[in-house]
Amino acid sequence: MNILGVESSCDETGVALVECHASGVPTLRAQALHSQIDMHQAYGGVVPELASRDHIRRVLPLTRQVLAAAGASIDKVDVVAFTRGPGLAGALLVGAGVACALGAALGVPVMGVHHLEGHLLSPFLSADPPEFPFVALLVSGGHTQLMRVDEVGSYELLGETIDDAAGEAFDKSAKLMGLGYPGGPALARLAEFGDPAVFDLPRPLLHSGTLDFSFAGLKTAVRTHMLKLGSNVCEQDKAHLAAATQQAIVDVLVRKTLGALKATGLKRIVVAGGVGANARLREQLNAECTKRQTRVHYPELALCTDNGAMIALAAAMRLQRGVGQPQNDYAFNVLPRWPLVTA
């Protein structure tokens, strides 16, 4: 069975074709992505209306590109999956509308997928796929959650951020330092030239005894340091501050993830979402996991940030297990604030 996946929840248009059988891990046949970073850069962040319009321009050419790369004709598509939420309403509507129109034209079912479930399952497309159950650390621009994952669709929330997400902490700190958008990769690049010990930054809720996170105070501390450094701040000081910020975020993420392992007694971790691309996070988590004989799985770097492959994959894994039904009526709505699990 071939599943076409369409992702359009934010600033990336992603399309992919995934093949699945009755059992076994589905395989990625082809994927294509268009990032809107260049377009939004001038505004220092995502402009929702521009995002929607760009998705409209990109989604069909990307679909043609994916089918050509897979050597498959459109009539080989058995199910069309799309991101139903969470995300920007207008952007989601583009993907949902196109997916449902394609489904109707082809006479095949469609399936709305939760964006975070896509992230969560994305390591299954890596060369080293995980096995259930595992602890998932979901770290994206809008979410920071620790979950116990027993199977597809069986998620238990262990902890989450009470204010900013980890990616937001990277992005907002980067903005305060005058770095580009998206801030996470820019801050991480600058951090390579800095010493994290030069600035002492808070690690909120580190010893709270819960698995919840808080990153808003960190951003305030970065703002205070930037104000103290003044407008003539040198690149080296900025690099030290970037390194300290990254280290504070990583310390909290790693500590809480280890706490989740202890609380659940599980021996396997999956890290997913854009911040999962962070090299320092991977390095520190790998080192701690080696000490504890715990396996840690990541998506391929190209599948850490938003993409269509994870959406097709999540639909495929649900279909394989009979979790959730594809629909044949092509009436659709989107869910911009759709929780994957609630506390």
Positions that interact with ligand KG4 (CB under 6 A) = 10, 119, 140-142, 167, 170-171, 182-185, 188, 273-275, 277-278, 305-306
Query: Out of Zn ion, ligand KG4, none, which partner does residue 277 contact, by CB within 5 to 8 A per kind?
Result: ligand KG4
What is the closest distance, in whole angstroms, from the C-beta atom of residue 140 to Zn ion in the complex?
4
Question: Length of the chain in residues, anyone?
Answer: 343
User: Which residues from 270-329 bind Zn ion, rule CB under 5 A?
Assistant: 306
| 13 scored as a contact of Zn ion (CB under 5 A) | no
- Region of 112 (left: φ > 0; alpha: ψ -120 to 50; beta: rest) is beta
As given in the structure block, the two tokens for residue 111 are 């399936």
What is the closest distance, in whole angstroms, from the C-beta atom of residue 14 to Zn ion in the complex?
10
What is the closest distance, in whole angstroms, from the C-beta atom of residue 184 to ligand KG4 in the complex?
2
What is the closest distance, in whole angstroms, from the C-beta atom of residue 139 to Zn ion in the complex?
10
What are the two backbone dihedrals, phi and then psi, of residue 302, each rounded to the nearest 5 degrees? -70, -20
54, 90 in Cβ contact below 8 A? no
Cβ-based nearer residue to Zn ion, 13 or 140: 140
135: Cβ contacts below 8 Å, ≥ 6 apart: 146, 147, 148, 149, 158, 257, 260, 261, 264, 266, 268, 269, 270
C-alpha distances in angstroms, 180 versus 85, 94, 176, 241? 27, 27, 10, 16
What is the closest distance, in whole angstroms, from the C-beta atom of residue 281 to ligand KG4 in the complex?
7
Contacts 24+ apart (CB under 8 A), 60-67: 60/98, 62/13, 62/14, 62/15, 62/32, 62/33, 62/34, 62/308, 63/4, 63/6, 63/15, 63/102, 65/15, 65/32, 66/4, 66/15, 66/16, 66/17, 66/30, 66/31, 66/32, 66/308, 67/17, 67/30
Cβ-based nearer residue to ligand KG4, 2 or 140: 140
Cβ-based nearer residue to ligand KG4, 28 or 70: 28
Query: Out of Zn ion, ligand KG4, none, which partner does residue 167 contact, by CB within 5 to 8 A per kind?
Result: ligand KG4
The SS3 of residue 28 is strand
| 145 scored as a contact of Zn ion (CB under 5 A) | no
Query: Out of ligand KG4, Zn ion, none, which partner does residue 183 contact, by CB within 5 to 8 A per kind?
Result: ligand KG4
| 122 scored as a contact of Zn ion (CB under 5 A) | no
Query: Out of ligand KG4, Zn ion, none, which partner does residue 298 contact, by CB within 5 to 8 A per kind?
Result: none
Query: Out of Zn ion, ligand KG4, none, which partner does residue 307 contact, by CB within 5 to 8 A per kind?
Result: none
What is the closest distance, in whole angstroms, from the C-beta atom of residue 310 to Zn ion in the complex?
8
What is the closest distance, in whole angstroms, from the C-beta atom of residue 179 to Zn ion in the complex?
21
Contact positions vs Zn ion (CB under 5 A): 140, 306
